[in-house]
Every structure is written in C-alpha cells, then in structure tokens.
C-alpha cells in the first residue's frame, strides 16, 4: 500500500543506518548485534571503514526483468533477421549465459526456471516459489515490496501461470492455479496485468477474489470492459487488469495488449512513490509457439516481445536510473535456422523437439549494476544478484 511505502525508509537509508551501526559497534560491541550488516572484518582497522564514506548508491532505482519464456538463441536470431537483421538486444552492453537445469532434471520447466530467478535457488520442476524441500522461500518481488519499492507484473499468459506465479506464490505444483491466485491477496503488489480472470471469480471455494482485492484497495478492470489502452489508471491506488478469462490469445489471433500494457505499467510504476520499482514482464507465448513447432507463431511472439523491450529501453533512457535485464527460463522446441537470407527473406526454421531443451540461455543487461550479469553462471545467480541489487549487504555466492 502506498501509505506504508512512503513511511518506509529507502534501501539507501537502510544501508546508511547499517553502516552507522557498524561504525558505532566498532567501538567494542560484539558483531552479533548487527542483524542487517555483516560483522566488521577484524583484520581491517577502523580507518578503513571510515574511508568508505561517503557511501554512494550505485544500484539502479528501478529494476525491470523481462523473461521471454522459451526464448533461446535461435528464437532471438530468427526475430532479428525478420526485423531486417536488427534486434533491440544489440543495445545491451552486457551479455551473459545461464545454465537452466533444475534441481531434479536437466530440462527445466517454466516453474522451476522462474523460481530460480525469484528465490535465488534451483528447485524441482513444477515448483512455484518453494525450495527443493518444498518450503516457501521469499521472492525478489516480495522483498522489493517489503522494502517499499513499487512492484508490478505483466504477462501474455494468465497471471497465475508458472512464470508470474513464481514471483508471488509458494506452492509445490504449478497447476494449483486457484491457490496461486490467493497469493495476490497476501503480497500487496501494486499492479498486475495478465489473463486468468476465472481463477479469481469462478472458484471451487466460491470466493470472489475481485471483491476481496477491491476490499484491499485495488481497482480492477478486465477485457470485458475497456481495453488496457483506454483505461485511466489512478496512481494513488493498486491496480489489476485481466486480459482474458483463462489464457490470452496468441498475437497472431488478435492479442493486442502487450505493448500498450507495457507503456501503462511503466508510467504507473514510475509515478508510484519515490523508492523505485521492481517489474517483471513475461513474453509467455514464445514457449507455446515452440511447443507447437509453429514458425510464424514463434516469430510473431518474438516481435511483440521485442516491441515491449524497446518500450522499456525508451523508458530507461529517459529515466537514467533503471536496470533492464532480459533472459529466458529455457529454450523450447530445439529450434534451428536452416536457410534464408540475412534480411529475413526465405527464412527456414525447423524444430528438433516439441519440448524444452537444456542449452545455456542468454542474459542481456543494461543500466546500473549491468556488469554483475556478464559471464556464465547458474540460473539461480540471477536471483541472488537481484537480491544484492536491492541490498548490498546481501552477499551472493555460487553453490548452496
């Protein structure tokens, strides 16, 4: 809620306070008394600590994580050639690769893939925001919300589908859609846009989550009324928009909300409090196109996703304090480009699978903190690095 957000200290403030406590404690208290900061290094003289002041926050104010579900290098390359040998991804100065396997399978599904990003730990296929032992683990979106950042999610699937679900819910099975919907009542995410209206309004338990969300101060609109482009969103209130009863259409069949919704959500979040925001945007159906082995479906979903990326790039350029991170959970379809011309003519694409594949997955970063994402690393390192960006005292390491 906005009131809580405005009364909370910024993470910069928390950091300053932690540093102050650290310096006070150097006078002789035991290091165990500082819950939010690492113990002072005993080998460093106090002057070493003092030399670090003044502390400058180098991290981005805003973080946008874009996930192209099933978007491997061939999907990116196909989209690039089709766009006359250009892709918005060329504007990203830092490129890395992540290893996508899950805790129990070389081939990850989207639930464990997104969970690795959201909690900073690999989990089993099907897992939504839970560790391999099945226990809930805090997600980066929940942490951002707690720290007073504005938070948002936008997907071209239902909002309870595996990828968005992994950022807000904690269930052992991704198919628990109605249970996942209940988590939108627990974490006061500022704005969310996606399909899945029925999981909120026509539930087995008879609850009406539209009503319950409205009771918590949300304004709700959906595809039955005005389009997202037409809706006037008040930045004073939390907001939800449902784009479909269950899963939204492919862009080829007329889905047209992704890009206008990207503009709306960026505009909303940038006017929401002073502490910055965390936003997850998913191009969900690149994956479904790969499962279907349909070339035009893949390329059109890639094109829609690229336009959303460009909108984020434009925003970040004007804002100057936004980190954009783009990656995928895994590749889908084992897609290959087999012939064609670099201007996109006569492209011939083929698939070797109707499932996910295990190749390393690209990561693109631009903005404050971008350098953290170069190199080759496990998928969970994306989550750990995101936690570090919210709080510099969160030290990320690879391994358990």
CA distance 173 to 331: 21
- Tell me the CA end-to-end span of the chain in Å, nearest whole number: 34
- Closest approach, Cβ 69 to Mg ion, in A, equals 4
- Name the phi and psi angles at 146, rounded to 5: -60, -35
* Residue in 236, 281, 245, 244 with CA at minimum distance from that of residue 263: 281
Site string for Zn ion, 283-312 (x = CB under 5 A): ----x-------------------------
DSSP assignment of 150-219? EEEEEEEEETTSHHHHTTT--BS-TT-HHHHHHHHHHS--SEEEEE-THHHHS-TT---HHHHHHHTTEE
Q: Which residues pair with 342 in a beta bridge?
A: none
- Closest approach, Cβ 393 to Zn ion, in A, equals 36
Would you say 125 or 163 has its CB closer to Mg ion? 163
- Closest approach, Cβ 387 to Zn ion, in A, equals 26
User: Cis omega before residue 82 (within 30°)?
Assistant: no
Residue 293 interacts, among Zn ion, Mg ion, none and using kind-specific CB cut-offs from 5 to 8 Å, with none
**Residues 11, 37, 102, 110: which is the catalytic one?**
110
Segment contacting Mg ion by CB under 5 A, of 19-27, 62-70, 92-100, 338-346: 62-70
Segment contacting Mg ion by CB under 5 A, of 103-111, 127-135, 171-179, 358-366: 103-111
Q: Which residues pair with 151 in a beta bridge?
A: 278
Residue 270 interacts, among Zn ion, Mg ion, none and using kind-specific CB cut-offs from 5 to 8 Å, with none
Residue 158 interacts, among Mg ion, Zn ion, none and using kind-specific CB cut-offs from 5 to 8 Å, with none
**110 noted as active-site residue:** yes
Please pick, from the candidates 5, 61, 65, 69, the single residue that binds Mg ion as defined by CB under 5 A: 69
Residue number with the smallest Cβ distance to Mg ion: 163
Tally of CB atoms within 10 A around 229: 12
Would you say 25 or 303 has its CB closer to Mg ion? 303
Reduce the DSSP state of residue 77 to 3 states and report it.
Answer: helix
Catalytic residues: 110
Interface residues with Zn ion (CB under 5 A) are: 287
Interface residues with Mg ion (CB under 5 A) are: 69, 110, 163, 284
């Amino acid at each position: 809620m906005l009131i809580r957000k405005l009364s909370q200290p910024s993470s910069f403030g928390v950091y300053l306070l932690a540093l102050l406590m650290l310096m006070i404690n150097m006078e002789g208290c035991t290091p165990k008394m500082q819950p939010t900061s690492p113990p002072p290094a005993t080998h460093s003289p106090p002057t070493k600590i003092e030399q670090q002041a003044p502390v400058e926050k180098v991290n981005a104010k805003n973080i946008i994580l874009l996930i192209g579900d099933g978007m491997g290098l061939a999907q990116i390359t196909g989209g690039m050639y089709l766009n006359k040998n250009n892709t918005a991804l060329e504007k990203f100065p830092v490129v890395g690769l992540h290893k996508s396997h899950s805790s129990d399978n070389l081939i990850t599904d989207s639930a464990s893939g997104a969970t690795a990003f959201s909690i900073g730990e690999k989990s089993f296929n099907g897992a939504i925001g839970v560790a391999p032992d099945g226990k809930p683990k805090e997600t980066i979106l929940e942490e951002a919300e707690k720290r007073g950042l504005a938070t948002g999610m936008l997907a071209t699937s239902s909002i309870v589908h595996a990828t968005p679900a992994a950022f807000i819910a904690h269930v052992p099975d991704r198919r628990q859609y109605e249970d996942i919907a209940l988590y939108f009542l627990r974490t006061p995410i500022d704005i969310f846009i996606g399909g899945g209206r029925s999981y909120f309004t026509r539930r087995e338990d008879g609850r009406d989550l539209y009503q319950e969300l409205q009771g918590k101060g949300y304004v709700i609109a959906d595809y039955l009324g005005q389009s997202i482009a037409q809706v006037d969103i008040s930045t004073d209130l939390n907001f939800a928009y449902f784009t479909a009863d269950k899963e939204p259409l492919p862009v080829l069949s007329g889905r047209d909300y992704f890009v206008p919704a990207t503009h709306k959500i960026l505009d909303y979040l940038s006017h929401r409090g002073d502490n910055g925001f965390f936003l997850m945007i998913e191009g969900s159906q690149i994956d479904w196109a790969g499962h279907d082995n349909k070339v035009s479906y893949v390329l059109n979903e890639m094109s829609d996703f690229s336009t959303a990326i460009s909108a984020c790039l434009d925003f970040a350029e004007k804002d100057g304090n936004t980190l954009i991170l783009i990656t995928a959970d895994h590749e889908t379809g084992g897609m290959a480009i087999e012939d064609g011309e670099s201007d996109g003519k006569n492209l011939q694409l083929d698939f070797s699978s109707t499932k996910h594949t295990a190749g390393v997955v690209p990561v693109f970063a631009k903005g404050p903190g971008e350098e953290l994402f170069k190199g080759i690393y496990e998928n969970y390192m994306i989550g750990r690095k995101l936690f570090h960006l919210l709080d510099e005292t969160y030290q990320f390491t690879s391994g358990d």
